[in-house]
Structure 1
Amino acid sequence: MPLDPLPPLPAPLDLSGRPVLVTGAASGIGRATAECLAQLGAELTLADIADLAPLREALEAKGARVRAEQGDLREPAFCARLVAAAPWFAFANVAGVFQGLPGQTPEEAFDFVMHVNVRAPVQLAAGIVEGMAERGEGYVVLVGSAAGRNGGASQEASLDYAAYAASKGGVHTLVRWLSRRAVGRGVLVNGVAPGVVRTPLFERVARTIRFDPASLPAGRAAEPAELGWPIALMCTRAASYTSGAVLDVNGGSFVG
């Protein structure tokens, strides 16, 4: 017996035919965000330095319209190409790194983290906001971190962790800076600050940095979809009067 068709989405949540860009989409929170946006009907462009073919194929098998752009956000030309692929209805910057690459000096590692986590979002968001403002509507979500709020969930005095927390604090400030300059032009810029999330990135980081279980009041880490849905919501007209906010999705690890 065939299943009854799903009821239509409420209009404010319906992204049917809306072009949406998601960076960092190959895995973790980015992949979950793309999957949530696909369920809302978005026409997706996915960007990542990693292979996007598995996600693209999975989403297309479910009827989603998907385009993949593989590249390095440290390359200005790649960022410029993503900006120029407008028009964008929404943009979710989920791409991020925790620490430098193997073999980098501490200074190189610091610059690497700041470039991916702060400089690339500045370049992308500033350009995309301008295009959205010309059309009078747009939604931008930048993913920060609870570490940018409270210094992180580990007591270890790691310079890697310091750079990461500082970079995510910079993302939160960028949200507020962009919001003040965009909201009057019809573009809403917000952030989402995850706590500890069970992603491939976290699993790698947890091999070298100890996280205090007492810092998780909910008693567990989040699953990626528990961040994907709040991010997706902020990409819709359901967030039509929210601007400059950094939404804390951390199971109560930061309250303020």
Structure 2
Amino acid sequence: MQRFEGYAVLITGAGQGIGEATARRLASEGARVLVTDLDGERAARTSATIPHSAPFACDVADRAAVEATVAYAVEHFGALDVLVNNACACTADTPLFEDQPDDTWQRDLDITLTGAFRCARAALPHLAKAGGRGAIVNIGSINAEADFGNHAYSAAKAGLASLTRTLAADAAPRGVRVNQINPGTIRTPAWSGRARQLDALAGLYPMGRVGTPEDVAAAVAFLASADAAWVTGTTLRVDGGLMAVNTGFARTRSFNDA
């Protein structure tokens, strides 16, 4: 089904992982995709394998770079219909909270939250011209909802959920929808070399596995498409049921019942 025939899409952090899978999914449904990444060479390698796509280096922490990226998308495709804010930064916590330095805290917020703001600000005027099919999909995290570590990253993702709601209200009269996806653990290159940890985490998920980038890409495709024409300001969990069930407690309850 070609739900995105004629659509022009910009995806940040699309050189690998969730962003790459999303680019592939939307392109497979007819979209023309601007594959952006901080690493321009990685964006180019990924774009070379995706039909109807083009690469562009973009640092979402740089306002001028973001505005140049959006301008290129509009020039290259003739329009912009969908923005997917996927770029993020996640710095490991210090052993003691009080040792967290300002620079790493600021970096996570600047890329993960303010970067999405910069992209939305630059894209919104163009999305508003998309004839009612304009959409922004923000990639959040279940870290926004509960403690899974990473103070700065979690705070940034929680802020992104708030921005999703407030921007949805602001953009709705202009025909632009804004939604967020909160994934659980996803098997991406960020987990490279930690297969045992991923296997251990799988047991915590009611569905018995961690997620794949394609799981998230499918959700993005729904929220970005006309199938979600009356959905805005919402956050969709793509987490294998993790936030719905305390798996450890459920196992203890089953043991006690036995």
Moved more, 235-244 or 70-79: 70-79
Match of 1:52 in 2: 43
Match of 2:135 in 1: 139
Structure 1 segments (4+ residues) deviating >6 Å: 204-209
**Whole-Å separation in 1 of the counterparts to 2:172 and 2:164:** 11
**TM-superposed deviation, 1:205:** 8.2
**TM-superposed deviation, 1:80:** 0.9
Matched, 1:93 2:89: no
Q: Which amino acid in structure 2 is aligned with residue 149 of structure 1?
A: E
**Whole-Å separation in 2 of the counterparts to 1:54 and 1:41:** 20
8 A contact 1:23–1:94 mirrored in 2: yes
TM-score, scaled to structure 2: 0.82
**TM-superposed deviation, 1:217:** 2.1
**TM-superposed deviation, 1:207:** 9.7
User: C-alpha offsets along residues 171-218 of structure 1, whole Å, 9 cap, x if unaligned?
Assistant: 111110100101121100001110000001133788999x75554222
CA spacing shift, 1:197–1:15, aligned 2, 3 Å = same
Q: Where in structure 2 are the equivalents of 1:53-92 lying within 5 Å?
A: 53-59=44-50, 64-85=51-72, 86=74, 87-92=79-84
User: C-alpha offsets along residues 126-151 of structure 1, whole Å, 9 cap, x if unaligned?
Assistant: 22123222444201100000110122
**TM-superposed deviation, 1:70:** 1.1
Match of 1:155 in 2: none
* Higher RCO (CA-CA < 8 Å; seq separation 6+): 1
8 A contact 2:60–2:119 mirrored in 1: no
**Whole-Å separation in 2 of the counterparts to 1:250 and 1:126:** 29
Match of 2:13 in 1: 24
Moved more, 211-220 or 68-77: 211-220
| Structure 1: unaligned runs, 5 residues or longer | 1-8, 153-157
CA spacing shift, 1:106–1:221, aligned 2, 3 Å = same
Match of 2:186 in 1: 197
Q: Where in structure 2 are the equivalents of 1:3-18 lying within 5 Å?
A: 9=1, 14-18=3-7
CA spacing shift, 1:205–1:90, aligned 2, 3 Å = farther
8 A contact 2:4–2:31 mirrored in 1: yes
**Whole-Å separation in 2 of the counterparts to 1:205 and 1:109:** 23
* Structure 1 or 2: more helix by fraction: 2
Q: Which amino acid in structure 2 is aligned with residue 193 of structure 1?
A: N
Q: Which amino acid in structure 2 is aligned with residue 69 of structure 1?
A: F
Match of 1:3 in 2: none
**TM-superposed deviation, 1:28:** 0.5
Identity of aligned residues (%): 28
Match of 1:118 in 2: 113
**Whole-Å separation in 1 of the counterparts to 2:216 and 2:142:** 13
**Whole-Å separation in 2 of the counterparts to 1:46 and 1:14:** 19
8 A contact 1:136–1:187 mirrored in 2: no
**Whole-Å separation in 1 of the counterparts to 2:191 and 2:155:** 18
8 A contact 1:196–1:202 mirrored in 2: no
CA RMSD of aligned residues (A): 2.4
How many residues align? The count is 230
**Whole-Å separation in 2 of the counterparts to 1:205 and 1:122:** 32
TM-score, scaled to structure 1: 0.82
**Whole-Å separation in 2 of the counterparts to 1:90 and 1:44:** 9
Match of 1:183 in 2: 172
CA spacing shift, 1:18–1:200, aligned 2, 3 Å = same
Match of 2:102 in 1: 107
Secondary structure at the counterpart of residue 84 of structure 1: helix
Match of 2:144 in 1: 148
**Whole-Å separation in 2 of the counterparts to 1:145 and 1:111:** 18
Match of 2:256 in 1: none
**Whole-Å separation in 2 of the counterparts to 1:81 and 1:205:** 37
Secondary structure at the counterpart of residue 52 of structure 1: helix
